[in-house]
Amino acid sequence: MLNKLFVVSFASLFAISVQAAPHSHNGAMEKCMRAALVKHPGKVVSLEAELEKGRPIYEFDIVGDDGKEWEVECDAKTAKVYEEEVDVDANSEEFKSKAKVSLEDAKKTALAKFPGQIESIEYELENGKPVFEFDIKQANGKEVEVEVDAVTGLIGETEEEVYEIGKD
């Protein structure tokens, strides 16, 4: 029920933004996308609307002009970028040299808390710190994004996906 309420509220927020400025494309998502692209100029390849601790956020995957793949999170209400992560290869020396937790152990940790099927795995550096990120499809059909700290093995952020546009 709470999820349905959020979807309606989230959709209403977007609809209100679009109605207020029907031709300017100046709604919350557009403001967040501009803010993300200011931080990391490039091409947005996907957009996810998510809930993080009940807070609506937008997550943009950007292939940057710098050649790096960035994941940028923005608060849907304030249009402020609050997190930036760079995706790295599983064999990245920067990731491997800092990681203390194996991929298998990180998977077990994530699935113990969020049972389901792992849909994708990303290796990221969040402020230079290695993090495994799993997209897990749960039995109820919901998809949750779970970060596991590759140094401590602890679960960090978790976000419930509301929708996704583009390729992941």
167 pLDDT band (50/70/90 cuts)? confident
Which of 114, 98, 104 lies closest to 156, judged by CA?
A: 114
pLDDT score for 25: 55
Domain residue ranges in the chain: 1-85, 89-163
pLDDT score for 168: 62
1-85: CATH architecture: Roll (3.10)
More confident: 167 or 150:
150
CATH number of 89-163: 3.10.450.40
Question: What is the value of pTM for the model shown?
Answer: 0.81
pLDDT score for 22: 43
pLDDT score for 87: 97
Of 5-19, 33-47, 129-143, which range is least confident? 5-19
Interval 100-104 mean pLDDT:
97
